């Protein structure tokens, strides 16, 4: 069934106005756990195996090994209990501390800034580049001062930042590169993948992420030494001995059942990426004859589409909430993207108190794009026929919207 055939057969009255929704009910977003994983979990419980161990139990270790191998033979991974923990422990292992500056993109999830502030450091908010809305590398370079210690690109929506350029910039200026890859596991960047450019890369396995196991995270490290530091810091800063605490550390371990579920998600990751990329291609194709503009993937790589970000034309910006509500009523998930970091109230206050606030006037691309953006679903586990329905819902709302006076 092609999209144009669907559009001629579906009712044109919007569900929000009492019409028949494109999808009878929302797609279930629960974890898809195969029989093999269920048996393994039952086995851990029946054999009374530990559900969590210092430095990671056997399943957490296996998840780490397979996750590292997915990214190449010379990688090192440490499993943790969330993406936010992964970001925090990465920055801590990099030695970031009070007064240090970390450059973060305006278009991000708040956790990237949280991790910086947790260390008493200062997130310096950087604008987006206008094409793919990823971190603007030139803008980032202009923000480097003698207090800058790290750059933290966020691959929002699954769109990878320009990692080759950021790596070169960090090498030239002696900075640490930490990737927030929570929305972009496995995204292609040239012949490589996200996570393999950074000194550290942070992943999340929370609900709706490409790999999801309730809550969980992973730190991918460039060197074995960095991975040892991360592992120690994620375990109270413990050394090899009992009661041997040699550095400030945290309790960030991943529990065994999460690792078992995560392993299942990792085995499915390439298929999940393919499903999400297929959904994205349906949106691009299906919205071609509208003035809705899906944000392009960057030239240096491809997106793995945590969500599909779409720009409304200026003439309909005032109706953004209606568009989202109307798509929702068709039983298709849609949202306003996370607010830009400069619009997070506590962060704005923290930065103002330090004279380091950078607002919308300093991040014009991000500010103007964000005002026009809405996101639509691409997963998890969205079958192709359901993705076609998601596209149809957006088309249906567009036809109503554009048929009306602006
Ligand atoms: C989900 C997410 C995080 C935080 O991960 P948690 O596991 O929820 O702590 C951080 N950054 C981005 C971009 C995310 O999408």
For the segment 186-221, what is each residue's pLDDT rounded down to a tens digit?
Answer: 999 999 999 999 999 999 999 999 999 999 999 999
Q: Residues 140, 239: one domain?
A: yes
Please tell me the distance between residue 111's alpha carbon and the centre of ligand 1 in angstroms.
6
Residue 172 has pLDDT above 70, yes or no: yes
Structural domain contains residue 194: yes
Average pLDDT on 316-327 reads 98
Q: Residues 142, 54: one domain?
A: yes
Please tell me the distance between residue 217's alpha carbon and the centre of ligand 1 in angstroms.
9
Residue 6 has pLDDT above 80, yes or no: no
Q: Is residue 194 lining ligand 1, measured as CB closer than 6 Å?
A: no
Edge-to-edge strands, sheet with 373-376: 293-294, 308-311, 373-376, 334-335
Average pLDDT on 314-335 reads 97
Q: Residues 222, 332: one domain?
A: no
Structural domain contains residue 23: no
Q: Is residue 154 lining ligand 1, measured as CB closer than 6 Å?
A: yes
Structural domain contains residue 5: no
The region that residue 241 occupies, defined by phi over 0 for left and psi between -120 and 50 for alpha, beta otherwise, is beta
Structural domain contains residue 7: no
Pocket test for ligand 1, best of 87, 90, 133, 182 (most atoms within 8 A of CB): 182
CATH number at residue 70: 3.40.640.10
For the chain, how big is the Rg over CA atoms in Å? 22
Q: Residues 378, 392: one domain?
A: yes
Structural domain contains residue 15: no
Displacement of CA 214 from its chain's centroid (Å): 16
Q: What is the band of 1 on the pLDDT scale with cuts at 50, 70, 90?
A: very low
Q: What is the band of 11 on the pLDDT scale with cuts at 50, 70, 90?
A: low
The count of structural domains within the chain is 2
Q: Residues 239, 133: one domain?
A: yes
Residue 30 has pLDDT above 90, yes or no: no
Residue 2 has pLDDT above 90, yes or no: no
Q: Residues 186, 323: one domain?
A: no
Q: Is residue 83 lining ligand 1, measured as CB closer than 6 Å?
A: yes
Average pLDDT on 98-107 reads 98
DSSP 3-state of 222: coil
The pLDDT tens digits of the residues spanning 46-76 come to 999 999 998 999 999 999 999 999 999 889 9
pLDDT on residue 140:
98
Tell me the two tokens of residue 359: 């607002």
Q: Residues 218, 231: one domain?
A: yes
The pLDDT tens digits of the residues spanning 215-264 come to 999 999 999 999 999 999 999 999 878 889 999 999 999 999 999 999 99
Q: Is residue 195 lining ligand 1, measured as CB closer than 6 Å?
A: no
Q: Residues 156, 282: one domain?
A: no
Please tell me the distance between residue 386's alpha carbon and the centre of ligand 1 in angstroms.
26
Please tell me the distance between residue 281's alpha carbon and the centre of ligand 1 in angstroms.
25
Residue 178 and residue 200 in contact, taking contact as beta carbons nearer than 8 Å: yes
Q: Residues 122, 80: one domain?
A: yes
Structural domain contains residue 295: yes
Please tell me the distance between residue 24's alpha carbon and the centre of ligand 1 in angstroms.
30
Q: Residues 256, 290: one domain?
A: no
Pocket test for ligand 1, best of 88, 154, 183, 262 (most atoms within 8 A of CB): 183
Tell me the two tokens of residue 124: 């310096």
Last residue of a domain, one of 267, 292, 324: 267
Residue 134 has pLDDT above 90, yes or no: yes
Last residue of a domain, one of 209, 236, 267: 267
Residue 234 and residue 89 in contact, taking contact as beta carbons nearer than 8 Å: yes
Last residue of a domain, one of 216, 247, 267: 267
Higher pLDDT, 34 or 17: 17
Structural domain contains residue 292: yes
Pocket test for ligand 1, best of 204, 255, 335 (most atoms within 8 A of CB): 204
pLDDT on residue 240:
78
- Tell me the pairing of strands 192-193 and 200-204: unpaired
Residue 33 has pLDDT above 90, yes or no: no
List all residues 6 or more positions away from 382 whose beta carbon is below 8 Å from its beta carbon. 27, 275, 276, 279, 390
Structural domain contains residue 3: no
What is the residue range of 278's domain? 269-401
Half-sphere exposure of residue 368, counting CA atoms within 13 Å on the CB side? 9
Q: Residues 123, 80: one domain?
A: yes
Q: Residues 207, 338: one domain?
A: no
Nearest CA to ligand 1 atom 2: 182
């Amino acid at each position: 069934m092609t999209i144009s055939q669907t559009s001629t057969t579906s009712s044109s009255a919007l569900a929000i106005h009492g019409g028949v929704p494109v999808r009878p009910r929302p797609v279930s977003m629960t974890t898809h756990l195969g029989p093999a994983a269920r048996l393994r979990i039952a086995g851990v419980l029946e054999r009374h195996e530990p559900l969590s161990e210092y430095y990671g139990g056997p399943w957490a270790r296996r998840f780490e090994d397979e996750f590292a191998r997915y990214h190449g033979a010379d990688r090192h991974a440490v499993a943790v209990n969330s993406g936010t923990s992964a970001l925090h422990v990465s920055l801590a292992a990099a030695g970031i501390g009070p007064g240090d500056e970390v450059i973060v993109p305006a278009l991000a999830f708040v956790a990237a800034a949280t991790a910086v502030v947790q260390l008493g450091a200062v997130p310096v908010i950087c604008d987006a580049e206008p094409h793919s809305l990823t971190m603007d590398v030139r803008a980032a370079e202009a923000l480097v001062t003698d207090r800058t210690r790290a750059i933290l690109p966020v691959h929002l929506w699954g769109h990878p930042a320009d990692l080759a350029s950021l790596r070169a910039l960090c090498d030239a200026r002696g900075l640490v590169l930490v990737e927030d890859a929570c929305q972009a596991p496995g995204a292609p960047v040239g012949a490589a993948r996200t996570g393999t450019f950074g000194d550290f890369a942070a992943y999340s396995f929370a609900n709706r992420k490409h790999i999801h196991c309730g809550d969980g995270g992973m730190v991918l490290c460039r060197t074995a030494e960095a991975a040892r530091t991360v592992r120690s810091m994620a375990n109270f800063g413990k050394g090899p001995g009992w009661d041997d605490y040699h550095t400030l550390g945290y309790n960030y371990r991943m529990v065994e059942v999460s690792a078992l579920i995560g392993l299942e998600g990792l085995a499915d990751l390439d298929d999940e990426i393919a499903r999400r990329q297929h959904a994205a291609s349906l949106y691009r194709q299906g919205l071609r004859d509208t003035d809705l503009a899906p944000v392009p993937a960057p030239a240096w790589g491809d997106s793995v589409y945590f969500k599909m970000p779409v720009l409304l034309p200026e003439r309909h910006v005032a109706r953004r909430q209606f568009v989202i509500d109307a798509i929702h009523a068709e039983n298709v998930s849609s949202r306003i993207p996370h607010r830009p970091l400069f619009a997070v109230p506590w962060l704005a206050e923290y930065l103002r108190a330090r004279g380091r606030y950078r607002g919308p006037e300093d991040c014009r691309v991000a500010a103007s794009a964000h005002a026009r953006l809405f996101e639509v679903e691409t997963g998890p586990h969205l079958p192709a026929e359901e993705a076609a329905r998601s596209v149809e819902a957006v088309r249906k709302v567009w036809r109503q919207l554009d048929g009306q006076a602006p």
